[in-house]
Amino acid sequence: MPNLKRKNKSLILKKPVDPMGVILAIALIIAWFLSLYFLLNYPINYKNGFTYLAIYIQTHLYTGLFITAHDAMHGSVSKSKKVNTLIGRITAILFAFNFYDLLYKKHHLHHRFVASENDPDFHESGNFWLWYWNFIKNYITLKQLVLMTVSLQVLNMFFSFENLLIFWVLPSILSTFQLFYFGTFIPHKNGHNHDNKHHSGTLKKNHLWAFLSCYFFGYHYEHHDAPGIPWWRLWQVK
């Protein structure tokens, strides 16, 4: 195995980081908490379209937590390494008890060995469901499942179990599909058939759809070509 610590330096932003990264990260965390608190107290009505809009919003905020942790892995949240890592760990934990250090190692393997047998995010079958299952197995741990189960029981002492399932558990699951489909499957489904050095596809230029679908990470070739660019500036290099 190559020396990842040495080689990963090229995947981390080296120039001063815009302070907007920390501001947006904190704003996203606060928005996620406020939205979740409101929805856990919301009287669910399946005939009301707001219920489904709320599920999408909460799913999108969940995805934003992961994207923020992802940016921290590239050093693009804060110029302070400690602040950068702290935000990465907080957002990873909030995203269904993921662990930043494990994500960091695997994500840099993905960048180093994209679309190869050493890429933990790639599945040579190209089959959506097989690939998704392999993706989930790579990132979900028994510890996470235990923590989610315990947290669900504790939170149920204060909030409706139905609300917890609809607005806490379901959005976290849907978010994995959002991240996988737009950030892994679509960009890399053709593997080495992509005729470029990053073996990655990219969305056509549509900034609104790119944001709504996955925080601009559909611009995936651009991300691999400039991994230190944070999500909120990625559209500028399209």
Half-sphere exposure of 6 (CA within 13 A, CB side): 3
The whole-number average pLDDT for the span 101-110 is 92
Nearest to 216, CA basis, from 226, 207, 227, 225: 207
Question: Which range has the worst mean pLDDT, 44-53, 112-121, 216-225?
Answer: 112-121
Residue 227 lies in a domain: no
Task: Give whole-number Cα distances, 210 to 8, 96, 214, 230, 233, in Å.
Answer: 27, 24, 6, 14, 12
How sure is the predictor about 3, in pLDDT bands with cuts at 50, 70 and 90? low
Q: How many whole angstroms separate alpha carbon 181 and alpha carbon 135?
A: 11
Residues spanned by the domain of 96: 4-198
pLDDT in tens, 17-60: 678 999 999 999 999 999 999 999 999 999 999 999 999 999 99
Q: How many whole angstroms separate alpha carbon 225 and alpha carbon 238?
A: 11
Nearest to 28, CA basis, from 211, 194, 207: 211
* Residue whose structure tokens are 């190559």: 2
Residue 216 lies in a domain: no
**What is the structure's pLDDT at 1?**
45
Buried b (16+ CB within 10 A) or exposed e, 163-187: bbebbbeebbebbbebbbbbbbbbb
Q: How many whole angstroms separate alpha carbon 191 and alpha carbon 162?
A: 41
Residue 89 lies in a domain: yes
Q: How many whole angstroms separate alpha carbon 221 and alpha carbon 30?
A: 30
Question: Which range has the worst mean pLDDT, 93-102, 180-189, 191-200?
Answer: 191-200
How sure is the predictor about 190, in pLDDT bands with cuts at 50, 70 and 90? confident
Number of structural domains in the chain? 1
The pTM of the full predicted model, rounded to 2 decimals, is 0.87
Residue 46 lies in a domain: yes
**What is the structure's pLDDT at 13?**
46
The amino acid at 151: S
Q: Cα 135 vs. chain centroid, distance in angstroms?
A: 13
Residue 226 lies in a domain: no
**What is the structure's pLDDT at 2?**
47
Residue 214 lies in a domain: no
Find which of 188-192, 195-199, 207-211 is predicted with most confidence, using mean pLDDT: 207-211
Residue 238 lies in a domain: no
Residue 70 lies in a domain: yes
**What is the structure's pLDDT at 147?**
95
Which residues lie below 8 Å from residue 34, measured CB to CB, with a gap of 6+?
none
